[in-house]
Amino acid sequence: MFGLRFPITTAEHTRSYYAATAPGRKRAPLGADIEADVLVVGGGFSGVNTALELAERGVDVVLLEGHRIGWGASGRNGGQVIGGLGHDPERFRRRIGAAGVRLVHELGVECVDILRERVARHAIDCDLRWGYCDVALKPRHLRWLQQEQRDQSARNYPHELVLLGRDELRDFVGSDAYVGGLYNPGGAGQVNPLKLCQGEAEAAEAAGARLFEMSRVERIEHGATPTAYTAQGSVRARHLVLCANAHLDNLEPRIAARMIPASTCIIATEPLAPGLAREILPRDVAVCDQRTALDYFRLSADRRLLFGGLCNYTGLVQENYVRIMRRKMLAIFPQLDATGIEFAWDGQMAIGMNRMPQVGRLAPNSYYIQAFSGHGVAPTHIMARLVAEAICAESRRFDVISAIPHRAFPGGRYLRRPAMALGMLYFKALDYL
Ligand SMILES: Cc1cc2nc3c(=O)[nH]c(=O)nc-3n(C[C@H](O)[C@H](O)[C@H](O)COP(=O)(O)OP(=O)(O)OC[C@H]3O[C@@H](n4cnc5c(N)ncnc54)[C@H](O)[C@@H]3O)c2cc1C
């Protein structure tokens, strides 16, 4: 239909550059009826970091992942490590107060710090590098970035932010496409996300968490001791944390309605000659533009250009996306005309109505984390910490963030995706003005 297809669901990792180069250690499926203090469902950044935070606090945790650790968005994303939680928390001032808005900004910094400390403390080999450029395609975008720099300075953002004009940006991005940018040398960067997720899973296990793969939860019984059932076993726990994100399906309809799964695609070139890599990204920064239908790109550790974008709010994937993505890449870097594409893959991200990550309780002992709206590599780390704090009876920060309201998408289970896709067409049209 219109050259669109459903995402291909594989039991193993999708055929991404990450999975091809770092598939990770396999874990056994759950094969018995067991008990734990806390059961975490979902082995992406949200679930793995919840397990790690809890295990480090001495809590007995079991994590069930339906496929492989990092199989979902966490193991196939653009690897852009960006601070900040969602968009414009000022909108919620009446609900969470001035202190709450301040907290959102603080957590937006802390999430990157957690990732930085975690990689250092557990010596995770995940190609983490610092340096990030928001780029402007139009003068209007550059004005937004100027405003962002002023706002961050007023909030005492702890990292330097450097506004770059067209010529200065050429030292960072070898393209004529941009009129300027905002360079963040130390507070944002890039990572191999699958390696990061796998390293964090190893750290959780070293701290005592029990992780099972190929263990899809088919049914949950809520109550004083929530119990989750897979095809071959069950886990009975005192607390439950749902971190299934865009792959939740209908496991928990109350929170499924608050997000829509949207697709986005990435292509990876063959390794570039050192001179060509230096020409297109001389400072090896991660880059993202300012449009609703944005492009994001960076170099892998072995000098491939990873170029992502093409967000589709129906959740479907364009059949010919490799050709479209290559065209987009060449519009920015025509010097890659003779360069081959070696990997191409898509993934599902969960979009919320207000674009703020969703964290909350379904019952006093039942929690969820979801809907990072395409910006979750770092923010998942702080949401996991908030839930771990709440489970360990320190819920002050969790209470503030979980008070942010999240409405269900109109249109119900079947119509909410096309309704959202239509709405987004309007914003995408604005990109062209
Ligand atoms: C292509 C792409 C590019 C992106 N680029 C960036 C980026 O550059 N920077 C950024 O900050 N963010 C990016 N994002 C968003 C980011 O990857 C996500 O916000 C983040 O990884 C969400 O992590 P998560 O753990 O909440 O969900 P996921 O990583 O999706 O994990 C959910 C897991 O739950 C499992 N699961 C689901 N149902 C069940 C069940 N019933 N039983 C057991 N397990 C189950 C799934 O198998 C899956 O592994 C991107 C997303 C995509 C898809």
Q: Tens digits of per-residue pLDDT, 199-242?
A: 999 999 999 999 999 999 999 999 999 999 999 999 999 999 99
Q: State residue 318's pLDDT score.
A: 80
Highest mean pLDDT among 125-139, 253-267, 310-324: 125-139
The residues near 330 (Cβ < 8 Å, ≥ 6 apart) are: 336, 337
User: Band of the pLDDT at 23, cuts 50, 70, 90?
Assistant: confident
> For the residues 331-346, what does the mean pLDDT come to?
97
Q: Is the pLDDT of residue 315 over 80?
A: no
Q: Is the pLDDT of residue 94 over 60?
A: yes
Highest mean pLDDT among 287-291, 312-316, 379-383, 408-412: 379-383
Q: Which two tokens stand for residue 223?
A: 């109550």
Mean pLDDT across the chain, nearest whole number?
A: 94
Q: Are 265 and 278 in contact (CB under 8 A)?
A: no
3-state secondary structure of 394: coil
Residue owning the nearest CA to atom 35 of ligand 1: 42
Q: State residue 310's pLDDT score.
A: 84
| Range(s) of the domain holding residue 286 | 4-427
- Cα 74 to ligand 1 centroid, rounded to whole Å: 4
3-state secondary structure of 47: helix
Does residue 433 belong to any structural domain of this protein? no
> For the residues 319-336, what does the mean pLDDT come to?
94
- Cα 106 to ligand 1 centroid, rounded to whole Å: 23
Rounded Cα gap, residues 28 and 58, in angstroms: 23
Q: Is the pLDDT of residue 267 over 90?
A: yes
Q: State residue 4's pLDDT score.
A: 77
- Three-state secondary structure readout of 199-265: HHHHHHHHCCCEEECCCCCCEEECCCCCEEECCCCEEEEEEEEECCHHHCCCCCHHHHCCEEEEEEE
3-state secondary structure of 166: helix
The Cβ of residue 400 has, within 10 Å, a number of other Cβ atoms equal to 21
pTM of the model: 0.95
Q: Is the pLDDT of residue 431 over 90?
A: no
Rounded Cα gap, residues 30 and 27, in angstroms: 9
DSSP H/E element including 326: helix 321-332
User: Band of the pLDDT at 292, cuts 50, 70, 90?
Assistant: confident
Does residue 88 belong to any structural domain of this protein? yes
Does residue 51 belong to any structural domain of this protein? yes
* Total count of domains within the chain: 1
Q: Are 321 and 425 in contact (CB under 8 A)?
A: no
Does residue 432 belong to any structural domain of this protein? no
Q: Is the pLDDT of residue 2 over 60?
A: no
Q: State residue 80's pLDDT score.
A: 98
Rounded Cα gap, residues 179 and 137, in angstroms: 6
Does residue 70 belong to any structural domain of this protein? yes
Q: Is the pLDDT of residue 287 over 90?
A: yes
User: Band of the pLDDT at 1, cuts 50, 70, 90?
Assistant: very low
- Residue 164, Cβ density class (10 Å: 0-12 exposed, 13-18 middle, ≥19 buried): buried
> For the residues 365-393, what does the mean pLDDT come to?
97
Q: State residue 311's pLDDT score.
A: 83
Closest atom, ligand 1, to C-alpha of 218: 41
Rounded Cα gap, residues 174 and 180, in angstroms: 12
Window from 52-56, 161-165, 282-286, 410-414 with minimum mean pLDDT: 410-414
Q: State residue 410's pLDDT score.
A: 76
- Cα 244 to ligand 1 centroid, rounded to whole Å: 8
Substitution site in 349, 368, 370, 382 for ligand 1 pocket (most atoms within 8 Å of beta carbon): 349
> For the residues 250-268, what does the mean pLDDT come to?
93
3-state secondary structure of 163: strand
- Cα 237 to ligand 1 centroid, rounded to whole Å: 24
Q: State residue 425's pLDDT score.
A: 64
- Cα 263 to ligand 1 centroid, rounded to whole Å: 11
Q: State residue 414's pLDDT score.
A: 66
Strands (E), 328-402: 341-352, 358-363, 366-370
Pocket of ligand 1 (CB under 6 A): 41-47, 64-67, 71-74, 76-80, 82, 216-217, 243-248, 251, 264, 266, 296, 308, 347-349, 372, 374-377, 380
Does residue 151 belong to any structural domain of this protein? yes
Q: Which residue has the higher pLDDT, 291 or 422?
A: 291
What are phi and psi for residue 145, nearest 5 degrees?
-70, -35
Q: State residue 416's pLDDT score.
A: 67
3-state secondary structure of 156: coil
Cα dihedral: 112, 113, 116, 121 (round 10) = -150
Rounded Cα gap, residues 262 and 82, in angstroms: 20
Does residue 243 belong to any structural domain of this protein? yes
Residue 10 sits in a domain of what CATH number?
3.50.50.60
Substitution site in 77, 111, 259, 296 for ligand 1 pocket (most atoms within 8 Å of beta carbon): 77
Quick one: angle between helices 93-121 and 193-206, nearest 10? 80
Residue type, 106: E
Longest dimension (CA), the chain: 63
How far is CA 276 from each of CA 145, 152, 329, rounded to the nearest angstrom?
A: 28, 34, 14
